[in-house]
Amino acid sequence: MDKIRVTGGVPLRGVVSISGAKNAALPAMIASLLTAETIELENLPDVIDIRTTRKLLSEFGVEADVKQGGSAVLRARRVTGCEAPYDLVKTMRASILVLGPLLGRFGRARVSLPGGCAIGSRPVNLHIEGLKKMGARCEIVHGYVEALSEGLRGANILFDTVTVTGTENLMMAACLADGETTLDNAACEPEVADLAGLLNSMGAQIEGAGTRTISIRGVKELHGCRYRIIPDRIEAGTFAAAAVITRGEIDIAGCRPDHMTAVLKQLEQAGAEIEVGKDSVRVCGKNPIRSLDVTTHPYPAFPTDMQAQYMALMTQGDGSAVITESIFENRFMHALEMARMGADIIIDGRRAVVKGGQALTGARVLASDLRASASLILAGLVAKGDTFIDRVYHLDRGYYHIEEKLSRLGAIIERIR
Ligand code: EPU
């Protein structure tokens, strides 16, 4: 299995271009299930989760052509099956997103329950409860959600917890439902708003996406369209943190600074110099890094998907920083690996206390999930000597050629096959 070797000590310099957002691209591809017409998507990142989604859609009989260069042509003219099997769902939890569209258009779906994962228990009860409120019958049988409906109807749904894919699933289900659906305490993430943008281009009637209340007036059918996916704010944030931790200076091109406000503010307060352009950000890390607490929350606050990368940065801070993870109960696995590199991190439930100013030394480390992998690369970029990161497949699920992008910025990094 591939490994990444990073040799620390080089300040990053240059320009990096940001790819399309994985977490916007996955629901967009799945939304193609809602129409018999052709959906053309642009700016898909070439990452493994996109290939897994193509495979998943093919299971249903969708003609899915994902081209090199980031475009895809998807057509769900006929659907030959409505089952998302365990083997695919276990590798990519976002597969649960097929539930809403399959039920909305075909009245049936059988989707394996994802189960727990490396960052927490991650239940999907709110997806299922919402679909039931819209009139679906859902049962858990042999580890699968089996859902049936003779036609979904609009409903008022209040989420107990903000859920990104839960909001997306119900928004897609509601597009073809009879009447109006209101989603309250909905996720405001840019990826949710981007999905609504696509669905509206397909003829849906959605208002309020990007706010806490979304209303969807059901329509009889949706049609084809062409749509461009937003840039990946987490990839952009990861490169910003990489610039600061290495004391470098980089231009992050092709991003949406307005989607990164909390992250850029946090980095700025931690000492970075940030210059925001229309679709770019310049990040300079020449100042000392200040230790600064942070708590993850749903958008627009500081994202859980940047928590691990921020922890790597705080190992180089001038004092102690408390990092509180409020979204997932078990998202500190990277801390133990960073400790193997010499970081001083104490975990207490959902809080991690990171004592800065420790010189990291390269070590062999294991990546437990996607963002943990990125954080270990960041730690490796400042560690003395070589860091070898194992289980790189996590990284490949969500970052497009990160080692190539970093080496173009001057990092000494390579993939060992
Ligand atoms: N939750 C429930 N019940 C549900 C659904 C969620 O209790 O039915 C809880 C979860 O356990 C968690 C919280 O709600 O405590 C938020 O989870 P959410 O449902 O928002 O997470 P998700 O939709 O499964 C997406 C991203 C994640 C990202 C989270 C939070 C996609 C495909 N995944 O997951 O991305 O961390 O939102 O922002 O959009 C990543 O890219 O590395 C990644 C993990």
306 CA distance to ligand 1 middle (Å): 14
Number of neighbouring beta carbons within 10 Å of residue 319: 13
Residue matched to tokens 């993870």? 325
Phi, psi of 175 (to 5 degrees): -60, -35
Amino acid identity at 162: V
Largest CA distance in the chain: 62
The dihedral through the CA atoms of 283, 285, 288, 294 has a sign that is positive
Atom of ligand 1 nearest to the CA of 370: 42
Between CA 32 and CA 75 the distance in angstroms is 7
83 Cα distance to chain centroid = 24
Q: In a mutational test of the pocket of ligand 1, which residue from 164, 169, 329, 334 has the highest number of ligand atoms less than 8 Å from its CB?
A: 164
Atom of ligand 1 nearest to the CA of 49: 32
Look up residue 120 and give its DSSP letter: B
Whether 82 is catalytic is no
Instruction: Name residues whose C-beta falls within 8 Å of residue 153's C-beta, 6 or more positions apart in sequence.
Output: 134, 135, 177, 178, 179
CA torsion angle for 154, 160, 165, 167 (degrees, to 10)? 30
Q: How far, in Å, are 136, 138, 315, 337 from residue 128 at the CA level?
A: 9, 7, 40, 36
Q: How much is the average pLDDT of 20-46?
A: 98
How much of the chain, in percent, has pLDDT values that exceed 70? Answer: 100
Lowest mean pLDDT among 107-116, 246-255, 326-335, 399-408: 107-116
Q: What is the mean pLDDT of the chain?
A: 96
- The partner residues of 141 in beta bridges, in order of sequence, read 144
248 CA distance to ligand 1 middle (Å): 32
pLDDT of residue 83: 93
Q: What is the residue-wise DSSP string for 211-249?
A: BSEEEEE--S----EEEEPPB-HHHHHHHHHHHHHTT-E
Question: How does residue 116 score in pLDDT terms, banded at 50, 70 and 90?
Answer: low
- Give nearest CA residue, ligand 1 atom 17: 163
Amino acid identity at 202: M
Between CA 237 and CA 188 the distance in angstroms is 18
Amino acid identity at 234: I
Question: How does residue 117 score in pLDDT terms, banded at 50, 70 and 90?
Answer: confident
The CB of 398 under 6 Å from ligand 1? The reply is yes
By the 10 Å C-beta count (0-12 exposed, 13-18 middle, 19+ buried), 157 is classed as: buried
pLDDT in tens, 336-388: 999 999 999 999 999 999 999 989 999 999 998 999 999 999 999 999 999 99
Q: Which two tokens stand for residue 340?
A: 């193997």
Residue matched to tokens 């909390």? 262
The CB of 375 under 6 Å from ligand 1? The reply is no
Cis peptide bond prior to 300, omega within 30° of 0: yes
pLDDT in tens, 217-251: 999 999 999 999 999 999 999 999 999 999 999 99
- Give nearest CA residue, ligand 1 atom 36: 305
- Paired sense of beta strands 144-148 and 108-112, if any: antiparallel
